[in-house]
Amino acid sequence: MSLKNLSKIAHSKSTELTRPSWVSEKNITFAAYKYINQLKTEKLDFIAKHNRVNDYKAKGNYQITASEVARHIKVATTTLISTSAYSKDLKNHLNSINMKLEEEKSLRLSKHRKTLSSGVRQHKKDEIRIELQNTQKELEELKNKNAIEQATFILKSLALPIKQKLGINI
């Protein structure tokens, strides 16, 4: 584990000690709150290890769903999120964590994009092939142009008697 992950785990442990007012050990909110925090550290760990856009196609890899929490604590999703007295607070807590996870994902992907070079690996094969062909054409044109320029420069720099012996127009 990295130092960053360990600090996040320590932070989550300290937040467990200072839990919100709607969390109570008398009902399922404590188990739900504890599991949400556990999932949060797992999702943050996933985000820290993955930097490709394709890794985030499934939201379940980096987001926490209410049904996932409900399944773990063996309660109906509607009871957890809709019908109970604590449902509004729990849903707000879950949404805020998901927003933080989304920000972390975006930050991770943006950092990765910045570190990537603009080299060959970033482009598709067809794009590289077309760029290579254009570059080769441009090189040939420059070679021809340069050869003509050098020849005219040499002819201009020749002395007049040499030009007359070669039969070059003055």
Is 72:33 a contact under the CB 8 Å cutoff?
no
* Cα 120 off chain centre by: 18
Whole-number pLDDT of residue 109: 85
Q: DSSP assignment, residue 84? A: S
Whole-number pLDDT of residue 7: 75
Q: According to the per-residue pLDDT averaged within each range, which of 8-12, 37-41, 76-80 is highest?
A: 37-41
Of 154, 62, 42, residue with least CA distance to 108: 62
Task: Give the CA distances from residue 66 to residues 73, 83, 86, 89, 127, in Å, rounded to whole numbers and listed in that order.
Answer: 11, 13, 14, 13, 44
Count CA atoms closer than 13 A to 21's CA, side-chain side: 2
Of 3, 73, 65, residue with least CA distance to 40: 65
Band (pLDDT 50/70/90 cuts) for residue 139 is very high
Give the residue-averaged pLDDT of 89-115.
88
pTM of the complete model: 0.59
Give the residue-averaged pLDDT of 38-45.
92
Q: What residues have CB less than 8 Å from 50, skipping those under 6 apart?
A: 56, 61, 108
How many angstroms separate the CA atoms of 148 and 150, rounded? Answer: 5
How many angstroms separate the CA atoms of 140 and 134, rounded? Answer: 10
Supply 169's token pair. Answer: 């127009």
SS3 18: coil
DSSP characters over 96-124: HHHHHHHHHHHHHHHHHHHHS-SSGGGS-
How many angstroms separate the CA atoms of 147 and 61, rounded? Answer: 60
Whole-number pLDDT of residue 153: 87
